[in-house]
Structure 1
Amino acid sequence: MKIIIDHEKCTGCGECKESCPKGGKIWTIDRKKKIAIPSNLEYCHLCIICASRCPEEAIRIIRDDNYEKSPKIEENP
């Protein structure tokens, strides 16, 4: 599973962090750059709430045959 963040779409609104059950452990909002930054993905439950709540559709969850318990991050700066 991969979490892909499109920083061209992300506005740093913080909805991902607010909606995530582990929000503060996973998401950091850079207000200066106006982007959300995921980290500490060992806390991620793969619930995909962040992607479903993102108003800009900047977060995508990609499932693949090489599923791992800990998701990976890909960014589109």
Structure 2
Amino acid sequence: MGRLLGRSHATLLTDLETARTTSKLTARNNLPPATVSYHLGVLHCSGLVLRQRDRHVVRYRRSAEGDALLGQQQPAR
């Protein structure tokens, strides 16, 4: 997966089996906050992750397409 998406994209996508904030992803993956934000933006624009806002907190999670890419489930049709 790392060769297809790049290591950081693949690492973050894999870590989004549950919804997580940018801060949590930064701590869990030992990446700078700006790097995590950039990669999440790319994954979001690609339709592989979804954003969920609750007031001032934004959580990211894999979309059905992201799950399918990782072999977790088939995308809804």
Q: Which has the bigger relative contact order, CA under 8 A and spacing at least 6?
A: 1
Q: TM-score, normalised by structure 1?
A: 0.30
Higher strand fraction (1 or 2): 1
Please report the TM-score for the alignment, with normalisation by the length of structure 2. Answer: 0.30
